[in-house]
Structures are given as structure tokens and as C-alpha cells.
Amino acid sequence: MAGRWMKFGWYNAQGIPGRDALGYGIERMLTGISSPADTERGIAARLRYLTASDAGYEAMERAGINVTPRTLYAWLAEERSPSTANRAKLDDAYWDLRRHNVAADLKRRLMSGGGTRIEIDPVNQSRVEIRHRRDLQVRHINIRPRIWDAAVDAWLADDEATMDAIWDDLIHDLGTDYDSYSYVSSVGWSA
């Protein structure tokens, strides 16, 4: 991460690392089942999604769901209900599989038209004394397709180091004040 904010928050500026803002932005594009995991409808929908493919069974295994086929059939037939712990694991498995299934679509949407333009909102300096405030503006930049491809892959892998390197690469396009955007309030786009 770029280093001009050596002691970020020292003067009460508020924000998050740019890599996290970029990851949250990608995460907000992820949609799925709206019924909560603690309802019968929500569990039934998650089970249907997970049991429709081998990848779903692998996601359940990664989430730590170790039940017999008989128990799984009883859940699918709604004869028995998963425990609270297994409901949470089913939800984790569902979102894990969902992330993997939509990654290609996210890349396509973000890379269309030569890349997606993003808006970077600088850190919130409302609590910073006027004499310590930086002159930071909302910035707009176009992100090239190759960067979106790498960003979605890093998001999918929860790879903070790669997201950080991607963010550093992005903010260099801002010119001499790029380091002022190591931390931001938010990042947004429409794709």
C-alpha cells in the first residue's frame, strides 16, 4: 500500500484502505437468494442451488457440511430441518458457490466498453482540524479491462495482497496526489 498516510487516523480522518473499498464494490454486485438462511424457504432455495451441481457439493464440503446422504435427502424433502450450525454452513456454502458462479459475468460487465469508470470518494475529513486537512476531491478514473480481470480474481480468492497491488496501480493514474487515495471513504461505479 502506498505510504503517505503513515499514521492514518492520527488527525481523525475516517476511511478504509482502497483495496477494501474496491473489494466491497465488487461484493455489492453479487446478488442471490433474498430469503434469509434461517427460514424454511431460504434453506430450501440454498439446498436446491447447492445440490444442482458437483460444484455445489464441493462448496458444501469446503463449508464443513458432513452429513449422510440420508440426512441430505431428508433436508431436501423438508422432512427434517438442518441445525442452526448447519444452516450457517449452508449459507456460507451457498455464497461461496455463488461467488464462483458469477465471477465470469462480473468480469464481462466490468470489462465491457473498454473498462468501467469508477468514482473514488476521498477520506472523510469532517473531524480533522482545518489546519490538518488535505485538499482532496472526488476523483473519476477509467479502469482497464486487464485490471478488472485481475481484481475479480483477487476478490474471488480473498487475496488482499493482490488487491492492494491492484489498488496501488490504479491510484498511480491519479497523478501526483495518488498517495492521498490510499485510504478512501468509498468507491462506486455502475456496471
pLDDT at 29 over 60: yes
pLDDT at 6 over 70: no
**Residue 3, pLDDT score:** 54
**Residue 25, pLDDT score:** 94
pLDDT tens digits, 47-78 = 999 999 999 999 999 999 999 999 999 999 99
pLDDT tens digits, 139-177 = 888 888 889 999 999 999 999 999 999 998 888 878 767
pLDDT at 191 over 70: no
pLDDT at 84 over 60: yes
- The pTM for the full model equals 0.84
The mean per-residue pLDDT over the stretch 1-28 comes to 80
pLDDT tens digits, 88-136 = 999 999 999 999 999 999 999 999 888 899 999 988 888 888 888 888 8
* DSSP category for residue 112: G
137-146 LR contacts (CB < 8 Å, sep 24+): 139/174, 139/181, 141/117, 141/170, 141/173, 141/174, 142/114, 142/115, 142/116, 142/117, 142/118, 143/110, 143/115, 143/116, 143/117, 143/118, 143/170, 144/114, 144/115, 145/110, 145/111, 145/114, 145/115
